[in-house]
Structure 1
């Protein structure tokens, strides 16, 4: 993990709960301060859009979703045919949607989010 990724990862640990919510009107959804910090530091608003698009759609039959982004190493990329995978499950490991990405500049090797009550948040903010 590079220096930028280590700093972001360490800073994300400080987000517990949230007093401020950011609105994503396109999906009638919102996200927390921790997610906004990640957007600012990692330049990943695309990730928020992708997650909310799936979580508010009929693809998500659940009131709660656990979303995990994994970036793959070179060997895994060859095996999987993509550089990253975004997996959506019901919180009990039952996957209901998966998206593969051919390219991403996301700095962290993996990250997890929760989506509940039309709100995207970090697990530490749940």
Structure 2
């Protein structure tokens, strides 16, 4: 598992900008090559669906959203009662939504994503 995590982290660094955009028709969300890679390698279509649902909801009043996903340590999991946290903010640190996940099989401990003008991307693709 550790080799897979290291490979994903290393491979994600190669995505700078995006020539091709993909579409998630359920929410009319576009996503970049880096996100497509993440979906395939980390098997995390659920993450894209969740982000799209929140970023396209009335809860979001910003065209630029920073999404931070973080797995909690075992100690934090016991204290807080969930395994991972995903926060959504306007890019200025103003958090407008938090999602708690009781379980996650996402291989990375943390990742930051941007959602800009209906497009989900890695920060390096912005």
Q: TM-score by structure 1 length?
A: 0.97
Structure 1: 5+ residue stretches without partners:
none
| Aligned residues: CA RMSD | 0.9
What's the CA shift for 1:124? 0.5
Q: What is the DSSP-based 3-state SS (H/G/I as helix, E as strand, rest coil) of the residue aligned with 1:40?
A: helix
Q: How many Å separate the matches in 2 of 1:124 and 1:81?
A: 33
**Per-residue CA shift, 1:78-124, capped at 9, x if unaligned?**
12210000100001111000000011100000001000110000000
Residue 15 in structure 1 maps to residue 18 in structure 2: no
Q: How many Å separate the matches in 1 of 2:100 and 2:12?
A: 24
* Aligned residue in 1 for 2:47: 47
Structure 2: 5+ residue stretches without partners:
none
Judge which range, 20-29 or 46-55, deviates more. 20-29
Q: What is the DSSP-based 3-state SS (H/G/I as helix, E as strand, rest coil) of the residue aligned with 1:27?
A: coil
Q: How many Å separate the matches in 1 of 2:4 and 2:76?
A: 23
* Aligned residue in 2 for 1:91: 91
Q: TM-score by structure 2 length?
A: 0.97
Count of aligned pairs: 126
**Per-residue CA shift, 1:43-89, capped at 9, x if unaligned?**
00000000001001101111110001000110111122100001000
Q: How many Å separate the matches in 2 of 1:67 and 1:79?
A: 23
